[in-house]
Structure 1
Amino acid sequence: MEQLLGKGRDCELHLPAGVSWSWLRIPGVLQRLAFTYFVLSLLQTFWGRKAIPQSEVRRKLHLRDPSSSRTLNKTEESWLMIFLLETLWLCITFLLPVPNCPTGYLGAGGIGDNGLYPNCTGGAAGYIDRWMFGDNMYRYPTCKKLYLTVQPFDPEGILGTINSIVMGFLGITTQTALLLVIDLKSFSFPPQGISAAILSKCTRDGGFIPVNKNLWSLSYVMCMGALSFLLLGGMYFIIDVRGWWGGQPFLYPGMNSILVYVGHSLLGFYFPFSWEMRFQESHWEFLLQSLWGTSLWVLIAYLLYRKSFFLKI
């Protein structure tokens, strides 16, 4: 403790060798969630529906009816704000000049693209984050190992947060639809899947806008939104409509999702959640460890549920 706090009257904080405050990461997952919720709360406060009338709750509505469509959707002002945000993302991504890089570049840099753009990691998104945060970013992104990149890049950067707001807004509209619709025949999922297919040209890493989680690209938002809505629709039919399943045991981690996420981030690399691998080249031990760690967190979430302990943002 004395080595950390230092000695003398000034009580200056001395960090261990090799550690610097200049490396403190400013962006992050929870930071992105917090900002996304903040923006969405503003949209709901100023332009969203304040409450759903009791007469409309669980009432059968048909989206082909113009009046019911207006009832289900947010006000036009909310959709206009989302449209403007997405337009801002598109303009910055494809029109912002990045020094010594192609305008509109969406690649990983490094040895990607035959090594033509080694210092262009993330294109405009990476350029903005490096200008804003310097070295205060995630130091070991996925692209560093795969493409041997040398530029820092943060997957929770500023530009990608715009699209996380768009994804959150799609979730809000879905929640409203589920509250108002009881007949699955009257509930149609938005065509995110078609949009993702067009933007990516149904390729793994090509198309007009590739599906890229690190960039949180528009095609990634559409693709994940479509898959999420499909899964939600299936669960809604199985659990709420048919009553075949109550959602256990996944119900319990969902009630304490933030606690489980933070707990795994802090303790996931320690025993008993993980152990030192004996067979590094085999996938089965990684799979076993992942299943074991997940089971432990489900058990912890269940015990917290029994104690009525829930951690919320």
Structure 2
Amino acid sequence: MERKELCRVHYHFGEFGNYSLVVRTDHSSQNVSCNIVINQEPVNSYLPIFFAFLIYTGIFTMLALGQFCINIEPIRNWLYKKMNPRETDRLINSELGSPRQTDSISGDLPPGVWRTGPTVPRLRSLDTFRGLALAIMVFVNYGGGKYWFFKHQSWNGLTVADLVFPWFVFIMGTSTALSLSSMLRRGCSKGQLLLKILWRSCLLFLLGIVIVNPNYCLGPLSWENLRIPGVLQRLGCTYLVVAGLELLFAKPLPDSTSVEAPLPSVRDLLPYWPQWLFMMALEVVWLCLTFLLNVPGCPRGYLGAGGIGDHGKYPNCTGGAAGYIDRLLLGEKHIYQHPSSSVLYMTTVPFDPEGILGTINSVIMAFLGLQAGKILLFYKDQHQQIMLRFCVWSIIMGAVSAALTKCSTEEGAIPVNKNLWSISYVTTLSSFAFALLLLVYGLVDVKRVWSGAPFFFLGMNSILVYVGHEIFENYFPFKWKMRDTQSHSEHLAQNLTATSLWVIISYVLYRKRIFWKI
């Protein structure tokens, strides 16, 4: 039986609206008209976001005004008279929400630089960047107010939720370059550092296994259904490769930036050409496995979601080579059972967005972050040079993404895809990361017009906050029973409250000088 399209209607449906499709046929001309009739007006689902924005803007405005008033000499003197001087000092030094500099830096360092040890400078912008990514990650994991743009994309394309994990990987690479250089400068041997890298990688992996898998209502962990991949597991594997590679070629850099070097414009690149060759070889492996591996029952180089996608031709081919490798090496029961593609594409096979093949491009992402760290090391205190290079790298990565995707969701050779961690996804997100780091670095460490609060506190205790928000996700006060589970207002209030609580917890831990480092 031949099917005939009667009409085609493009319409933006609002939430909770009631609609009817009216189809009319003009018998004289045989023309068919289709019209949407609104039976019940939809609600404005974006009003809760607007009100939340106003509330948070009001809070930060009051904090900023309080800081401004405290810095006025007459008000400062009045506080000394009316309040306990010791308590006044505490209030003034706390900067109403920004970190106290006397806690973490000595007098010979500028306000934008913090110490983590006797001689190790710490850039506030890096912790601010990490904390910003973590804040969005926590909010998204708690539900994101049930808005579609705070949920992971079903397959190709990007939402806000798809931005944060790659940024976290990126800034991990940046911090790795700085920390390894610092420890080498302090006299640590490469053997000691290698043991530290191995220990940290294993600990991240084991933490991920313990956090991702338990369901205490169903009993203890069971190997039969243990999910092996995960966020922390991928961080551990990525850190092991990138930090190990950096350690292999790393040399302690002199404190002085005035040391002459051949070809100074590329002194952050030239000494590390073997690392770039290794990364290119890794990417060739990803490309060959993705596009040349013979996957049973699937076309070679398939990048689709399977299920009912592609007119249902390849229902069991979700993720192509990436899904096949995970199912082959890890087993179907040891990978993620409910991928984001299952809702829209009705996929039936498990697929893990943190799988084996995607970890290769996660390493590439961290390595690009490592390059940002080398820029900070080699051009220390040369703010214009640093910001220029961040800008150039952002443009280069953006150009590569444009070539791979043709600036579209579906039409390019390699679409942007978070589930697959495609190379275009990495170049796109690294372009955004360099641009964001440029902005944060300029505001926090160069112009010093922003202390980095409140994201700075989250960045200083990122692992603790991530582990904590996963463990206590379903407990009060981070979650409570809602009166209306279909309400964006209630979901947004709950998710923002939970995220804000972790900001407050990280601030309290910062004031108590409690930091969980692994």
> Match for 1:28: what amino acid?
G
Matches of 2:220 and 2:505 in 1, distance apart?
35
Shift of 1:20: 5.1
Task: Tell me what 2:383 maps to.
Answer: 183
Match of 1:94 in 2: 291
Identity %: 52
1:197 is matched with 402
How far is the alpha carbon of 1:259 from its aligned partner?
A: 1.0
SS of the counterpart of 2:267? Answer: helix
Question: Which residue pairs with 1:31 in the alignment?
Answer: 233
Corresponding residue of 2:496 = 291
Aligned-pair CA distance for 1:189 = 3.0
1:276 matches 2:481: yes
Aligned partners of 1:207 and 1:110: how far apart in 2? 21
Deviation at 1:125, TM superposition (A): 0.3
Q: Cα offset for 1:30?
A: 1.0
Aligned to 2:340: 142
Confirm or deny that 1:69 pairs with 2:265: yes
Q: TM-score, normalised by structure 1?
A: 0.88
Structure 2: state its 5+ residue gaps.
Answer: 1-216
Hey, what's the Cα distance between the residues in 2 that align with 1:17 and 1:255?
A: 34
Partner of 2:136: none
Count the aligned residue pairs.
Answer: 293
For 2:376 and 2:299, how far apart are their aligned partners in 1?
A: 44
Give the number of the structure whose alpha-carbon radius of gyration is greater. Answer: 2
Separation in 2, partners of 1:42, 1:35:
11
Q: Distance in 1 between matches of 2:506 and 2:425?
A: 30
TM-score, reference length from structure 2: 0.54
Listed one character per residue, the Cα deviations across residues 13-68 of structure 1 (whole Å, up to 9, x for unaligned) are xx958985311011111111111111112211222x32222222xx699xxx9712
Decide whether aligned partners of structure 1 residues 257 and 70 sit closer, same or farther in structure 2, where only a CA change above 3 A counts. same
Runs (4+) off by over 6 Å:
none
User: In the alignment, residue 253 of structure 2 is paired with which amino acid?
Assistant: I
The CA deviation at 1:235 is: 0.7
SS of match in other structure, 2:311:
helix
Kindly provide the amino acid, as one letter, of the partner of residue 223 in structure 2.
W
Q: State the match for 1:52 in structure 2.
A: 253
Mean Cα deviation higher: 85-94 or 16-25 = 16-25
Task: Specify the alignment match of 2:155 in structure 1.
Answer: none
Deviation per residue, 1:218-240 (Å, 9 max, x gap): 01101110111111100111111
Q: Which residue in 2 is equivalent to 1:161? A: 359
Q: Is the 8 A contact 1:205 1:212 kept in 2?
A: no
Task: Measure the CA separation in 1 of the matches of 2:246 and 2:221.
Answer: 42
Per the alignment, residue 213 of structure 1 pairs with 418
Match in the other structure for 1:5:
none
Letter of the structure 2 residue corresponding to residue 219 of structure 1: S
Instruction: Label 1:311 to 1:18 Cα distance change in 2 as closer, same or farther (>3 A).
Output: closer
Q: What's the offset of the Cα at 1:70?
A: 3.5
Q: 1:262 to 1:102 in 2, by over 3 A?
A: same
Q: 2:436 aligns with which of 231, 234, 252?
A: 231
Match of 2:368 in 1: 170
Could you say what the CA RMSD is over the residues aligned between the two structures, in angstroms?
2.2
Q: Distance in 2 between matches of 1:183 and 1:16?
A: 54
Structure with greater strand percent? 2
Q: Which runs of 5+ in 1 are unaligned?
A: 1-14
2:226 partner amino acid:
L
> 1 or 2 for the larger relative contact order (CA 8 Å, sep ≥6)?
2
In 2: Cα distance, 1:225 partner to 1:86 partner: 15
